[in-house]
Chain A
Amino acid sequence: MTLPKIPLGDWVDTFVDFLQVQLEPLFDLIRDGIGGFVEFIVWILSSVPAAILIILFTALMLWVSKWTNAVFTAVGLLLIYNLGYWDGTIDTLALVLTSVVISIIIGVPIGIWISQNDTARNIITPILDFMQTMPAFVYLIPAILFFGIGMVPGIIASVIFAMPPTIRLTNLGIRQVPEDLIEAANAFGSTTKQKLFKVQLPLATPTIMAGVNQSVMLSLSMVVIASLVGAPGLGADVYRAVTQIKVGIGFEAGLAIVILAIVLDRISQNIGMKKQK
């Protein structure tokens, strides 16, 4: 006796087809919006001479972190420039920044929401688990269908994969605010909004920033995958090196990603710490 296979795949196909047709105007709007934003960032970053950008990054690092990190930033970025991966780095940086900005814009409010509402939390948490454990490649398929190829589907896939930590840690940060401070806020007659903005969010900021830092790192980890759908940048260089079996180029592009990752990690980590002081 054999049970017929449940046509789960067919259902998903049908559902995606349905969305593609019904929500086309919405997808177009999202594509244009995100595409415009990325292009804008790329335009800004590439219209500034590389030397100045490197100085700005080094100065930023010096401000938020130790001087050793600043030296690393200067040397690392100069190395990237020297190896000829500057344009790729800018594309990748734009992709990561856009993904993170979207993750924050969507993730922080959701995090706040599920911190206030247990039912919402119970519904959202498994969705977050799903988003993080589903192989990231899978998101590429509907992303292509909805948004075509290029930067935008790469960003969408990155956001889906990178947003959960921001949501989770926003929720955690707010829930971790000590009970007696909440009592104090209530005892002085705060409204829910006052309590949120004057007490909970400021105290949750370091935790939220840790979430943002995680989102930065996760979206960086998506750059090679995003290049599969045509997103330009260092990921594309790595991908090309793999398909053409060019170890040298692969190493150079990979190293550039590592340097960028370390720089972004130290900056986003220390901004949170700095604010806490």
Chain B
Amino acid sequence: MSDAKIEVRNVTKVFGKSPQQGVKMLNEGLSKKQILEKTGMTVGVNKASFEVRSGEIFVIMGLSGSGKSTLVRMFNRLIDPTDGQVLIDGQDIVKMKPNELREVRRSKISMVFQRFALFPHRTVLSNTEYGLEVKGSDRKQQREKALEALKLVGLEGYENSYPSELSGGMQQRVGLARALANDPDVLLMDEAFSALDPLIRKDMQNELLELQEKMEKTIIFITHDLDEALRIGDRIALMKDGSIVQVGTPEEILMNPANDYVERFVEDVDLSKVLTAAHVMKRPEKILADRGLRVALQIMKDAGISSLYIVDKKQKLVGAITAQDAADALKKNQKIEDIMIRDLQTVTPDTLISDMFEQVATASLPVAVIDEEERLKGIIVRGAILAALAGDDIQLNGNEVK
């Protein structure tokens, strides 16, 4: 069983008077709709089977009513499956006795909720300590671990605030800290960012990815937002009417939809909202300012380009020159600094293409891509954006679509 952290086998949940009968009807091949018509019972999840690998972000994605929240609640048995197995590290959660289950919930698997579900009567710190507190660990250690978790999510200094005093984004950080405090292997995130407004949501997604690089937890993330799924998912499972329709990497799902449903789902994906500057940028031609105009002109000539970016010794972008200006300046005996265009359009590598259309369209020179330290990472030419949006994989710099 390679590196499968969680194995889900034929997990089924039927809500209604006699769920077992519902399972039988499913086995006989009846559909969710037929069962509802015949018996009035609702099939929440219909024989879901997949594996979640250790250390990946596995996104379960579907529209509301597709059964994704029910499915994730069967991982820690907030909802008991009617049928099937959920193996975590080879142990079947479904068969566990209450005390064994409690132990797993306390140490192995934590959950982050859509509406945060923070305890309003407890401070941020004491919310974060909750999991450790019910586990009954040492008081001092509890505090240390909780403070550590709060630091991790950037909430230092808010320990004694109450949840109601915090913004939505900060509240969900507390939710995340609470889940991380008892250091679980598995993190269940049920629409964790859906209640946040779009900008905050994006920040949180980025932070989750950053955190994940350090922590390497196994994360199961539920969302109804395809863009979110594509952004953060290492692999995505698409759900419809309680069934898993397709499991795959974001690229597989985008490029090879398993059936019409998935195809219709992803056809509306705005690639410009998935691809970033890092995907489409080209290697820049650059030069140190003190190399002089002659060298600059030679580089441009060799590379067959009409503009060149100037960087300092730390690769920090300082400006750009055009070939025309450089040739004129050489005749007038000017230096690079005299003709350098300092007012450049720049973006960061994670800027979405959709966010840079205007800059790219209006800039006279290719837009420069710089990192936090203003180092030049690449340039963006219009043609590359068009090619990428047309679905030309070669343009994607070999970066996986994330």
Closest to B182 in A: A188
Closest to B188 in A: A187
- Pairwise interchain contact A181-B117, C-beta atoms closer than 8 A: yes
Please determine whether B119 and A186 come into contact, CB atoms closer than 8 angstroms.
no
Q: How far apart are the CA atoms of A203 and B133 in the complex, in Å?
A: 18
A187 touches B111 (CB 8 A): yes
B111 touches which of A178, A184, A190, A191 (Cβ 8 Å): A184
* A199 with B134: CB separation less than 8 A: no
Among residues 177 to 229 in chain A, which have CB atoms less than 8 Å away from a CB atom of chain B? 178, 180-181, 183-191, 194, 198-199, 202-203
* Contact status of A189 and B78, CB under 8 A, knowing A183-B113, A199-B119: no
B130 close to A (CB within 8 Å)? yes
Provide the bound-state CA to CA distance between A100 and B120, in Å. 29
Partner of A188, one of B106, B114, B118: B106
**Can you list 26 residue pairs at the A/B interface with Cβ under 8 Å?**
A178-B117, A180-B113, A180-B117, A181-B117, A183-B111, A184-B111, A184-B130, A187-B105, A187-B110, A187-B188, A188-B106, A188-B111, A188-B130, A188-B182, A189-B101, A189-B103, A189-B104, A189-B107, A189-B131, A189-B135, A190-B102, A191-B134, A198-B119, A198-B130, A198-B133, A202-B121
Interface residues of A in 60-104 (CB under 8 A from B): none
Contact of A190 among B115, B134, B182 (CB under 8 A): B134
C-alpha spacing A187/B102, complex, angstroms = 8
Size category, A interface: 10 to 19
Bound Cα distance from A186 to B111, whole angstroms: 10
- Docked Cα-Cα span, A190 to B134, in Å, equals 6
The interface residues of chain B lying within 8 Å CB-to-CB of A198 are: 119, 130, 133-134
How far, in Å, is A266 (CB) from chain B's closest CB?
24
Q: How far is the CA of A63 from the CA of B27 in the complex (A)?
A: 67
Is B243's CB within 8 Å of the partner chain A? Answer: no
Q: Secondary structure at chain A's binding surface: helix, strand, loop or mixed?
A: helix
Residues on the A chain within 8 Å of B118, using CB: 184
Residues of A within 8 A of B111 (CB): 183-184, 187-188
A83 to chain B, nearest CB (A): 44
Docked complex Cα distance between A114 and B303 (Å): 82
| B85 contacts chain A at the CB level, 8 A cutoff | no
Residue from B105, B117, B182, B188 with most neighbouring chain A CB atoms (10 Å): B117
Q: Which 10 A-B pairs have the closest CB atoms?
A: A189-B106, A189-B105, A184-B117, A180-B117, A187-B111, A188-B131, A189-B102, A202-B121, A190-B134, A194-B134
A186 touches B78 (CB 8 A): yes
Q: Which residues of B contact A191 (CB under 8 A)?
A: 102, 134
Q: Are A181 and B131 in contact (CB under 8 A)?
A: no
CB nearest neighbor in B for A202: B121
B110 touching A181, Cβ below 8 Å: no
What separation, in Å, do the CA atoms of A202 and B162 have in the docked complex?
A: 15
Name A residues whose Cβ lies closer than 8 Å to a Cβ of B: 178, 180-181, 183-191, 194, 198-199, 202-203
Q: Is the CB of A189 within 8 A of B134?
A: yes
On chain B, the residues within 8 Å of A190 by CB distance are 102, 134
Residues of A close to B133: CB separation below 8 A: 198
A contact residues around B121 at 8 Å (CB): 202-203
Smallest Cβ-Cβ distance to A179: which chain B residue: B117
- Tell me the bound Cα distance from A191 to B117 in angstroms: 18
Given contacts A198-B130, A198-B134, contact A188 B117 (CB under 8 A): no
Let me know if A203 and B117 touch, CB within 8 A.
no
Cα–Cα distance between A198 and B126 once the two chains are bound (Å): 11
Residue B395 lies at the interface, judged by CB distance under 8 Å to chain A: no
CB distance from B50 to the nearest CB of A (A): 21
Contact in complex: A183, B117 (CB < 8 Å): yes
Query: Which residues does chain A contribute within 8 Å of B102, judged by CB atoms?
Result: 189-191
Chain A residue numbers with a CB within 8 Å of B134 are: 188-191, 194, 198
Chain B 87-111: CB-based contact to A (< 8 A → 1; otherwise 0)? 0000000000000011111110011
In the complex, chain A residues whose CB is within 8 Å of the CB of B135: 189
* B346 touches A (CB below 8 Å): no
User: What A residues does B106 contact at CB under 8 A?
Assistant: 188-189
Do residues A188 and B110 form an inter-chain contact, with CB atoms below 8 A?
yes
Beyond A184-B117, A185-B130, A188-B111, list 8 extra A-B contacts (CB 8 Å). Answer: A180-B114, A180-B115, A187-B110, A187-B188, A188-B134, A189-B135, A191-B134, A194-B134
